[in-house]
Structure 1
């Protein structure tokens, strides 16, 4: 951010300091607000969006320990974690300076100051804040899709091109990469944004539920059909229908879906009357496109229908600097959610994140950060504060020469549960055992 666009707040009980800083900055920045009373901080910050707060360290005039400044610093950072705070005092105590920086201050200046020094410090902080701001989806969207890595920039470019069209989209990517966020962003930037956005996890629907959920039914169509009900296709009419986990539907379900997409109409269960539909279709799957192309698994004519344009979301391990960006975003989010103040991340904390494989991608990172915030005992997060769940730590591929049946079974169960994002019913079905049997095995292996 340029200096002339900045809004500055100065809090100091010395009238001379307020006058001096106001005169110094008023011609260089957009707005300077000065006040003698730190108790006005909350109301002032609610009324204005400040980029920098210049805060005195001592207010009572009796004991110049700096504790008052630390107290108000914490109040400021709790209300706005992103604002830069410069602490200013007549006492050049290095221990106090270090303490204030650990508590979240951006810099520390000793009275009397040089005007060039304080203006230069403000400029530097504004530039740092500008670089630190996460880059988001460059579209008209409230959805937070954060990333400035080259792979994500490629995704953003493609989204900007396809969102305003009515093309059917197939979103590809591993579990936890954010396919649902991409689908919502496409809808919010389309001509249908004021119409419904309906999401269906079709991979979790049985044969019977698939038709009743998607196409609807008439009263009396089956035992529990006590009234007419619209299906998801009708509910999405005029808007966007998002079919998640499309790669897991059966051949019969594929056939029924293809018929609807070709005819642009649905026939509710128990009815002979077709209903015309007007939807934009977005589908998503974690199944690689090469596997979908296998006709024994998926109909090619259906792929052509759902895949006018495909968008592949890169795994987190391929997104480089995005790991640190996302970590900082989630730290700020969960610190605010749990009322735990402002946190600083040490280099070894970030390094540990970057070395992790993140088989669960952004979702795994999100939960790891939430855990760290909840368990934190101080405001600086180090590598020792970062832990991963048992399933994440146990994510190791099966060794080709592994012959111990217990180890093979344990690893298979872990991989299937992770693939199904912790869904026990789906995991048990895929493993060919009952839920009760799967729970017994989880207890057996202490998972």
Structure 2
């Protein structure tokens, strides 16, 4: 073909027919769109629909991924069904896409808190009643340790005293606003039990009733278990049989060998009031205040006496309501974050991941020199595999004595410094 070497007007013949279209293979294709998971903005080769699912996930929920944003998995499936062999997929995500993350928790070294639920927490509960609120504060994360129903909740405020839990159970119903009067006992005459006292008994036998009289109060205590202590009022006395009839039945059984019976004089303190109705058999008393109350305090409600087990704390968890029901007595343990794990790719798929952690020792060694309590450094026989953040479980004769986090390692001297020494 001649070359155009200078400016000018030249005539060039052009074929009038259609030019042939060069053939292109349709076994290789590329697609861009939304998928469940996978690399973002990175063309990735897939060679089958099963391979696509492994790398990018399956179908998308059309109710969530609207406006045909659920189309790519169907397109990929159709491509391979129709004979496609190589598909390059580029996943795209929105500007607000985030990495799913999970906090891994453990008990704190300082200011730990472990308590129990005072009463049932129903599913969806936004308040917990705890046997103790010590060392629990706003924003603390708590583990409700209840087997397969275990869950984390977050304290929305500091716990506040809400009432008391008693050792026994109420023997009568009481109404909102009724008085609950603290009593201070003074010991008087001691009596000797003549045989075992049965639970629910209305009459007790004594070796000698002496000058015991109706309307007097007896403390029946078990030397082996202080939780069985109860206060009862005498209804009548039979000097001929040395028995005393009570106004209410005993709540507990009392073996003669470990039971002491003491007449007491009670002095009433300033009354509290119930803030809600309480039924027969209840063991939690909601009160307007708990000032001056503590374990083993004596309370009078109408004609019955009850002994305080503990002051109850109310804790708001309004933004992290319980997912399951939890019975009274379930452990509640304060937690602190130890590790934060992120999903490898952005997207909701990470919300379906579950993490499992187990102890895995990278080093089994011994302490090679004596070290004082709370002192650093600790000299070890070896430090291979240790680094800042490693955790040392220190045992003596197979029994754990300390668990400390490493803050520095000297491989030259095989010495480590730990938090707190």
Q: TM-score range by the shorter chain?
A: under 0.3
Q: Which of structures 1 and 2 has the bigger CA Rg? A: 2
Pick 1 or 2: higher relative contact order, CA cutoff 8 A, min separation 6.
2
Choose between structure 1 and 2: higher helix proportion.
1
Report the TM-score when normalising by structure 1: 0.21
Choose between structure 1 and 2: higher strand proportion.
2
Report the TM-score when normalising by structure 2: 0.22
